[in-house]
Amino acid sequence: MRSTAKEVVAGIDLSGKTIIVTGGYSGLGTETVRALAGAGAHVIVGARRPDAAEEVLAEMDGTITILPLDLSDPASIDAFGESVAAMVDTLDMLINNAAIMASPLMRDARGYEMQFATNHLGHFQLTARLWPLLVAAAKAIGRARVVTLSSVGHRLNGLDVDDPNFENREYEKWPAYGQAKSANALFALELDKIGKPHGVRAFAVHPGGIVTPLQRHLTMEEQKAMGWFDEDGNTHESFKSVEEGAATSVWCAVSPLLEGMGGVYCEDCNVGAMADENTPRGSGVSPHIRDEDLAQRLWVKSEELTGVSFPA
C-alpha cells in the first residue's frame, strides 16, 4: 500500500510549529504544504512566482505565508532569510523541495550551471541563512529537521566536484541532473554531521516517479522513450500520485520513527537500501552518495562557490 502525505501526518499535531517549504506551490510542494498546514503548522512557502503561489494556495486550510524566493539569486535568498528571521524566532523544519530537471544549458548571473545552482547551491545558501533559527528550535524543543529532496536520478552518475558547472566538459542535461541530485543527498549527509551536536538532523528524499511540472523541459516523446508513458499516454504503473509522492518528504519531517537518526536517504517512507545489480532502476542508494569524503569536499566547494559559511 502506498501512503499519502495526509495519511503520514494523520494523528500528528503540528500546532505551534513553523515549517518552510521551498517551491511549495507546484507539484509535490503543493501537497506537502497541504498536509503540513492541515496538521496545524504555520507553513512558509518560498516562491519564485508569488502571484502563482497565492492563486494555488488560496483554497487551502491552515496558516500559510508566501514569501518571494529565487534560489538562483543569492540576493533573493538573503532577503528571504531576513524576512523569515523578522517573522519567527525558531524554525522547526525546512523542506528543500524546489527543483528543476533536465533543462537545456542555462547559467545564473554568476555563470553557474542552473541545475546545480538552483537544486543544490541555492538550498545550501538558504539553509545557512536559516541555520540560527533551526538551532534555536532544537535548543527549545530538542530537535529540528532539514529535509532535502534528492532523486533516484542520483544513480545516473556521480558528482564532479572539480567541475560542477560544466566549464571544462560538454554539457549534457541528464548528467547535470544526476550530479545535482547527488549533491542534494551528499549535502544531507554532511549537514547531519554538522547539525547533530545542535539537535538538527538532516534527511535526503527520493519521492518516487510522479508526473509533475518538474518534467516541463521534456517532450512527451522523450518520456515515452524512457518508459514513463506508454504509446497511449498512460503513466507507468510504478508512478505515484502527487499525494503519494509528497509522503516521504512529510514522513522525514514529522515521523517519530526517525528520532535519533539523520544523514540517511529515504524512499517510500523508509530508509533506502543500497542498490545492487538486482535493484530496480527506480529505487535504491548508490554508494557515491554515502561517501563522507566526497560530501565534505562538496561542502568546501559549496562554501567557495557561494561565499557562504554556516554560523559556528
Catalytically active residues, by annotation: 177
How many CA atoms does the CB half-sphere of 59 hold within 13 Å? 5
In one letter, which amino acid is 4?
Answer: T
Cα–Cα distance between 89 and 76 in angstroms, integer? Answer: 20
Cα–Cα distance between 229 and 33 in angstroms, integer? Answer: 28
Are 157 and 179 in contact, with CB atoms under 8 Å apart?
A: yes
* Alpha-carbon 285 to chain mean position: 16
Are 244 and 4 in contact, with CB atoms under 8 Å apart?
A: yes
Question: In the sheet where 270-271 sits, what is the strand order?
Answer: 63-68, 42-47, 18-22, 93-96, 144-149, 200-206, 264-267, 270-271
Closest CA to 130 of 98, 85, 187, 188: 85
* Alpha-carbon 83 to chain mean position: 21
Cα–Cα distance between 202 and 199 in angstroms, integer? Answer: 10
Are 214 and 246 in contact, with CB atoms under 8 Å apart?
A: no
Are 231 and 221 in contact, with CB atoms under 8 Å apart?
A: no
By residue count, the chain amounts to 312
Are 14 and 61 in contact, with CB atoms under 8 Å apart?
A: no
For 48, phi then psi, to 5°, come to -70, -25
Are 133 and 84 in contact, with CB atoms under 8 Å apart?
A: yes
